[in-house]
Amino acid sequence: MPDETPLLRNQSGTARFRDPRDPVEELELETAIARNVRRLRHQMGLSVGDMAARVGISKAMLSKIENAQTSCSLSTLSLLARGLDVPVTSLFGGAEGERPASFVKAGQGARIAREGTKEGHEYQMLGSLRGEHKRLECLEVTLSERSETYPMFQHPGTEFIYMLDGIMDYQHSRSVFRLHPGDSLQMDGEGAHGPADLVELPIRFLSVIAFPDSTV
């Protein structure tokens, strides 16, 4: 009997199929238009149907535009700009420049110091972007024979742990989770957390922390 549990779907962002031969610039332009049209529609407090009627295009077409699934003709861009009461150029905002990315080859991430370093915890930075993107910290943590369990960490934001090698008991607040390779744990960083028992060494896991805006 098939599983009746509905799939969880992410309602934010856009996704589309793209022929590898299509120029990247075209995709960036379509994505910028999609983002700006959706933002302006939300600012006006209109539904997709209401906005489509106001602009003079079909609801299906507006949905495709907002999901970057179609290229707008000049006439459609003109209708959108008039319906949204903005200059046509404002629909292209954000498509002008290269967006940042950080690539780190295997084993070449910068070693950094954290509170657990003195307990034998090794931290390797897996990527870093500047400005608004500093809200995210991605680390590979290694625990070896010389590592010790650490009292506890606490920090603002949300932390995600993905176990790569070894086995450890990881405590968060009053709960303890045994993590094997492939296991993951997502938690509120304000709750005291850290390795409670290093069961099978060496241990490697990914730690991704999303800090709130107020801490940046």
The domains of the chain are located at 24-92, 111-215
How far is the C-alpha of 213 from the C-alpha of 216, rounded, in Å?
6
pLDDT, residue 6, reads: 60
Specify the CATH architecture of the domain 24-92. Answer: Orthogonal Bundle (1.10)
User: Would 24-92 and 111-215 be classified into the same CATH topology?
Assistant: no
Q: Identify the DSSP state of 153.
A: B
Which pLDDT score is estimated for 169?
A: 96
Supply the pLDDT for residue 133: 59
Task: Give the CA angle between residues 154, 156, 172 to the nearest 5°.
Answer: 40
Residue 25: strand, helix, or coil: helix
Both tokens of 71, joined, read 């290229």
pLDDT at 194: 92
pTM for the model? 0.58
Tokens at 2, concatenated: 């098939």
Across the chain, which has 216 residues, the per-10-residue mean pLDDT values are: 55 52 62 89 93 93 88 90 89 68 82 74 82 78 85 89 97 95 96 94 94 68
Q: Are 143 and 198 in contact (CB under 8 A)?
A: yes
Cα separation, 18 vs 68, in Å, equals: 11
Nearest to 198 by CA among 160, 154, 150, 164: 150
Spatial distance between the Cα atoms of 183 and 120, rounded to a whole number of angstroms = 23
Predicted confidence (pLDDT) per residue in 34-61, tens digit: 889 999 999 999 999 999 999 999 999 9
For residue 13, what pLDDT is reported? 53
* CATH classification code of 111-215: 2.60.120.10
- Indicate the SS3 state at residue 8: coil
